[in-house]
């Protein structure tokens, strides 16, 4: 057996005591952990040391590149189109990928969107799309490349060979209380995106009640770290800081979010969903060399809808098929007249999860019909008895716990009261 060049305990002590790891040490650590030489207990100690003491810029870069090197890296050099992608840190009602990918593709740019499934209160793009009859998330490499060339937009599951170290490390962080460490979050996200091989990337980094990172300043730090990582690795990267204090759009769930996305592609849809879709599309297209694209017109004239239909057909789905609807519904009505002044995202995400739209464990199934429809948004005038939102599920026994999650999640005030929405939808841009 070959002699290992480093000892895991020595590296743990270095990080525990506030020291810095070299590129060679980090490369060995990630490789040794991926192949099972470094034990979970040792990597748990290392992630906690990182959580408590942080990492320098060079360390974060070296960690990210080591995780990229743990697997395969996709190569789009044979495509006739430039590639550009988007990643969101997730939120409540965040269905932006669905209208965004075909919108950008409608301008002759390839969007290789490798997406995931939801866990907890944040929804997963693949779960939403799987509510479309026949649509499949798994593609072979040949199918993936052929669809990028012909349609331009692909939303599918990432293969097991893409940054396998991250998959193993993320599962460990999830059970050791170290998920929130910015160096670990940034390297996790960016290792997958760099390995994906896209030439350009736009990050949607959210803050607020329904976001993974609630504090705006911590979200900014995360965004700045990821933008540096992308650019250092040769991926042209930008980020928007966006507000997730209020649910995005009016649909929270799976099938109902697909319906809302189709409304946007048809030139309608909620204003906040349209605004964010357009803003991200402009950034993606600018990085792809199409700086003056009229994205609003592409939503109104059917151009983006044509790309959507082609994308769904290419993956076995029927864009004209009826989507699942809940067997049972429960309407919550206003007990008084006034103005809706608060609608906190996190409780609505938890309620949708409890209705069956999300999962507690990665292997759990989701109920595609379950979710919440919002009938009012902050700032709207409310009449007594007016429907505020409708809960939907196939299992009525789920209603009580969902309603319990929504206690105190919204508030009706008087005209002139301040609106508790956390401020503008787009709070900043990092390039």
309 is known as an active-site residue: no
Find the catalytic residue in 15, 87, 282, 309.
87
**Helices (DSSP H) in 175-270: which residue ranges?**
182-196, 216-232, 255-265
Residue 56: CB atoms within 10 Å: 11
SS in 3 state form for 135-152?
CCCCCCHHHHHHHHHHCC
Question: What count of Cα atoms within 13 Å lies in the side-chain half-sphere of residue 287?
Answer: 27
115 is known as an active-site residue: no
Find the catalytic residue in 95, 192, 330, 368.
192
Q: How big, in percent rounded to 5, are the helix, strand and coil portions of the chain?
A: 45, 15, 40
State how far the alpha carbon of 178 is from the alpha carbons of 41, 299, 424, in Å: 13, 41, 30
CB 235 within 8 A of CB 193: yes
Strand partners, 381: 339
CB 239 within 8 A of CB 205: yes
375 is known as an active-site residue: no
CB 144 within 8 A of CB 151: no
Find the catalytic residue in 127, 166, 286, 421.
166
Q: DSSP characters for 80-97? A: SS-B-EEEE---TT--TH
CB contact burial 68-94 (16+ within 10 A = b; e otherwise)? bbbbbebebeeeebbbbbbbbbbbbbb
CB 133 within 8 A of CB 254: no
The helix or strand, by DSSP H or E, that contains position 155, with its residue range, turns out to be: strand 153-157
Find the catalytic residue in 131, 188, 209, 261.
188
CB 178 within 8 A of CB 47: yes
Residue 398 structure tokens: 């789920």
State how far the alpha carbon of 237 is from the alpha carbons of 39, 78, 269, in Å: 34, 22, 28
Distance CA 415, CA 150 (A): 53
Find the catalytic residue in 173, 282, 359, 368.
173
192 is known as an active-site residue: yes
Residue 174 structure tokens: 């999830």
Measured N-to-C along each axis, helices 164-174 and 57-69 cross at an angle, to the nearest 10 degrees, of 120
Q: Which residues are designated catalytic?
A: 87, 166, 173, 188, 192
């Amino acid at each position: 057996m070959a002699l290992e060049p480093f000892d895991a305990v020595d590296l743990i002590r270095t990080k525990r005591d506030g020291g810095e790891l070299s590129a060679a040490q980090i490369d060995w650590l990630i490789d040794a952990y991926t192949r099972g030489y470094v034990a979970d207990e040792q990597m748990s100690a290392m992630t906690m040391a990182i959580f408590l003491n942080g990492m320098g810029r060079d360390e974060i870069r070296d960690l990210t590149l080591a995780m990229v090197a743990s697997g395969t890296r996709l190569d789009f050099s044979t495509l006739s189109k430039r590639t550009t992608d988007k990643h969101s840190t997730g939120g409540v009602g965040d269905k932006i990928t669905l209208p965004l990918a075909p919108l950008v593709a409608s301008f002759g740019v390839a969007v290789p969107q490798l997406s995931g499934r939801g866990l907890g209160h944040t929804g997963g793009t693949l779960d939403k799309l799987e509510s479309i009859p026949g649509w499949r998330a798994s593609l072979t490499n040949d199918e993936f490349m052929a669809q990028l060339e012909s349609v331009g937009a692909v939303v599918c599951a990432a293969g097991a060979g893409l940054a396998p170290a991250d998959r193993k490390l993320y599962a460990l962080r999830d059970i050791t209380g170290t998920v929130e460490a910015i160096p670990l979050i940034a390297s996790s996200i960016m290792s997958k995106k760099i390995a994906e091989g896209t030439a350009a990337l736009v990050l949607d980094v959210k803050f607020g009640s329904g976001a993974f990172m609630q504090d705006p300043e911590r979200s900014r730090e995360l965004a700045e770290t990821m933008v540096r990582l992308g650019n250092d690795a040769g991926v042209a990267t930008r980020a928007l800081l966006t507000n997730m204090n209020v649910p995005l759009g009016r649909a929270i769930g799976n099938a109902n979010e697909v319906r809302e996305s189709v409304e946007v592609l048809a030139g309608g849809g909620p204003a906040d969903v349209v605004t964010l879709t357009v803003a991200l599309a402009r950034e993606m297209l600018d990085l792809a060399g199409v700086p003056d694209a009229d994205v609003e017109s592409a939503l109104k004239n059917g151009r983006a809808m044509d790309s959507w239909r082609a994308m769904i057909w290419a993956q076995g789905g029927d864009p004209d098929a009826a989507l699942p609807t809940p067997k049972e519904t429960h309407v919550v009505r206003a007990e008084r007249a006034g103005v809706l002044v608060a609608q906190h995202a996190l409780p609505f995400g938890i309620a949708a999860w409890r209705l069956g739209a999300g999962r507690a464990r990665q292997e759990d199934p989701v109920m595609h019909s379950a979710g919440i429809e919002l009938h009012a948004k902050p700032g709207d005038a409310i009449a007594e008895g007016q429907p505020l939102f409708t809960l939907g599920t196939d299992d009525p026994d789920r209603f009580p716990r969902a309603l319990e999650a929504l206690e105190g999640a919204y508030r009706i005030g008087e005209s002139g009261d301040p609106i508790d929405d956390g401020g503008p939808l787009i709070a900043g841009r990092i390039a």
